[in-house]
Structure 1
Amino acid sequence: MPDDDGAPFFTYAARGELRVQACADCREPRFPPRPCCPHCQSFASEWIRTSGRGRIWSYVVPHPPLLPAYAARAPYNVILVELADAPRVRLVGNLVAAADAALDSVDPARIRINAPVKAVFHEVAGGITVPRWVLERP
């Protein structure tokens, strides 16, 4: 559920843009969004557009699902993506087979640490758009 600090992330995602919060003073990108920069303690922030590309830093395949809403989809993957243009920023999402896939999970045997991925966007319940990920070279 978006809070005041994170709401812009979802607004940009609805437009098909992957943006992360950054300090307007020291320019350090950060995620999750928060009011104060952990590096210089500034309260000035901005939202910078990223390329939407990254690499799989880690992943897990939950058995059984961690959330009741995902019970029918189990097993599914959850990946942690390190962004190419903001390497200290890591985002959680699902690796899907195609850009238009709601949660058509990729076979876990195809998931590799460091595999290049790119963001695609999917609207979920409540009208919230979230990034999902597809392999750059399937």
Structure 2
Amino acid sequence: MADATTKPTPLLTPTQDDDGAPFWTYAARGELRIQACAACDELRFPPRPCCPHCRSFDSTWRKMSGRGRIWSYVFPHPPLLPAYAEQAPYNAVIVELADAPRIRLVGNLVAAPDADLNSVAPERLRIGAKVQVVFADVGGTVVPRWLLERP
């Protein structure tokens, strides 16, 4: 359980397998990269060993602009984990990437990279709102978060 001086760890510990580990390595560097097929150039997320389009096992990681738009959002009630109760209500957003509209990432809309999950008032969230990725170290894991482009 988190106290006033300790922020909770991420909801999920990232999978450090051969397919997903590069995503987290790039995130730790402050880069948003998405796996792409080296054969047909299709982007895919979540990362996986085989391209669902051409079935190639060759992949690369393409740097994204980090821009997107809120595709959907929710305010979980009650919080998903007890450690997050003090920050409720907080948002969980699905962001559609501007460079790759078929790629959607889950995260939180925050006022600053290291801000609490409830740092943006619920009435400020809108489907279609433009956002920009930022990265924050949360409990030893660097995770992508999102800021409104026009606060």
TM value normalised by structure 2: 0.86
Q: Equivalent residue for 2:146?
A: 133
Aligned partner (choices 106, 111, 118) of residue 97 of structure 1: 111
Write out the 4+ residue segments of structure 1 that deviate beyond 2 Å after TM superposition: 102-105
Letter in 2 for 1:6: G
RMSD of aligned Cα (Å): 1.1
Quote the offset at 1:90 in angstroms: 0.2
Quote the offset at 1:104 in angstroms: 4.3
Secondary structure class of the residue paired with 1:13: helix
Letter in 2 for 1:8: P
Aligned partner (choices 53, 68, 93) of residue 79 of structure 1: 93
Quote the offset at 1:10 in angstroms: 0.7
Quote the offset at 1:40 in angstroms: 1.0
Uncovered stretches (5+) of structure 2, i.e. residues with no partner? 1-13
CA separation in 2, counterparts of 1:23 and 1:68?
A: 39
Residues paired across the two proteins, number? 137
Q: Does 1:7 align with 2:21?
A: yes
TM value normalised by structure 1: 0.94
Q: Equivalent residue for 1:23?
A: 37
Quote the offset at 1:102 in angstroms: 4.3
Quote the offset at 1:28 in angstroms: 0.7
Q: Equivalent residue for 2:80?
A: 66
CA separation in 2, counterparts of 1:33 and 1:111?
A: 28
Letter in 2 for 1:28: E
Secondary structure class of the residue paired with 1:69: helix
CA separation in 2, counterparts of 1:52 and 1:58?
A: 17
Uncovered stretches (5+) of structure 1, i.e. residues with no partner? none
Once the two structures are superposed, residues 77-126 of structure 1 have per-residue CA deviations (whole angstroms, 9 ceiling, x without a partner) of 0000000001110000000012342434311111000100000000111x
CA separation in 1, counterparts of 2:82 and 2:132?
A: 27
Quote the offset at 1:38 in angstroms: 1.0
CA separation in 2, counterparts of 1:8 and 1:70?
A: 28
Secondary structure class of the residue paired with 1:79: strand
Secondary structure class of the residue paired with 1:85: coil
